[in-house]
Amino acid sequence: MNATTPLRALLIDDEPPARAEIRRLLAAHPHIPIVGEAGNIIAARRRLRKAADYDLVFLDVQLIGGSGFDLVPDVAPDASIVFLTAYEQHAVRAFEVNAVDYLLKPATAERLAQSLRRVATQAATGPVSTGAPPALTETDTVLVRGGGGAEFVPLADIAAIESQQNYSRVRLTTGRDILVLQTLKAWEAQLPAHRFAQIRRGTLANLDRIEAIDRPLVGSPRVKLFGLSEPIPASRRQWAEIRNRVPGS
């Protein structure tokens, strides 16, 4: 696939002038027909779910009725997303650490062309490698790709991550789990070490989400994490190494 491979596009932006500007810029790329538009989050979700007749979504971050991030799980699994944003600091950081493409408003013809080349390359070969994954901070948002699609998850909402061989189970403070194709070792290389630590072999815990610690007379300590129904037994050795980093331990 190359930059002239046909790609069907959806435009999702709550500002008609912004959509008109993207339409104007895309006119220089006739191989990218626009197959639909939406101006608010309700209409966007309906259009995204209606039919997977699109390959590319231009998605505004700030929409009437919600955030463009909220729509990521509704995008067809094989479709690419180019986010549109107006210099929103935290949004730009989320895009950069997750290697997701985005356009700063007002978009330019040159930057749009660059983005389209990147999308075409990703469609042909998979995500473009930009070297070692960037280190994350506790205020970052990570793009998690599970069987039900992709979604942005704040690191603060991750209670624990458990190894499942080449996969890992991301356990959220909401009580929901997401199985992702990423090893625990890869997570450990990215996550802030002062916030996430192994409490036993194969399990990383968010130390900020520890609610209570049960210390039985016999056996290992049991760590209760916010949002998880059952405590997790900790390794005595590993707990001894990190206990001074846990408030109130």
Contact by Cβ (8 Å): 103, 26: no
Contact by Cβ (8 Å): 193, 242: no
**Residue 137 domain flag:** no
Q: What integer pLDDT is reported at residue 150 of this predicted model? A: 81
Q: How far is CA 131 from CA 95, 98, 152, 246, in A?
A: 15, 12, 21, 33
Torsion sign (Cα): 224, 185, 190, 198:
positive
Phi, psi of 9 (to 5 degrees): -115, 145
**Residue 110 domain flag:** yes
Of 86, 106, 125, which residue constitutes the final position of a domain? 125
| Count of domains for the chain | 2
Burial class (CB in 10 A: 0-12, 13-18, 19+), 58: buried
The CATH number linked to 196 is 2.40.50.1020
**Residue 135 domain flag:** no
**Residue 140 domain flag:** no
pLDDT per position as a tens digit, 142-154: 988 887 778 889 9
Both tokens of 100, joined, read: 């997701």
Specify whether 112 is located in the same domain as 199. Answer: no
Specify whether 121 is located in the same domain as 14. Answer: yes
For the residues 19-45, what does the mean pLDDT come to?
Answer: 95
pLDDT per position as a tens digit, 211-224: 998 887 777 889 99
Give yes or no for residue 138 having a pLDDT over 80. yes
Contact by Cβ (8 Å): 168, 162: yes
Specify whether 120 is located in the same domain as 171. Answer: no
Give yes or no for residue 179 having a pLDDT over 50. yes
Specify whether 157 is located in the same domain as 121. Answer: no
**Residue 131 domain flag:** no
Beta strand 158-164 pairing with 203-206: antiparallel
Mean pLDDT for all residues in the chain: 87
**Residue 165 domain flag:** yes
**Residue 4 domain flag:** no
**Residue 225 domain flag:** yes
For the residues 2-31, what does the mean pLDDT come to?
Answer: 90
Share of the chain above pLDDT 90, in %: 53
Q: What integer pLDDT is reported at residue 1 of this predicted model? A: 44
75: domain range?
9-125
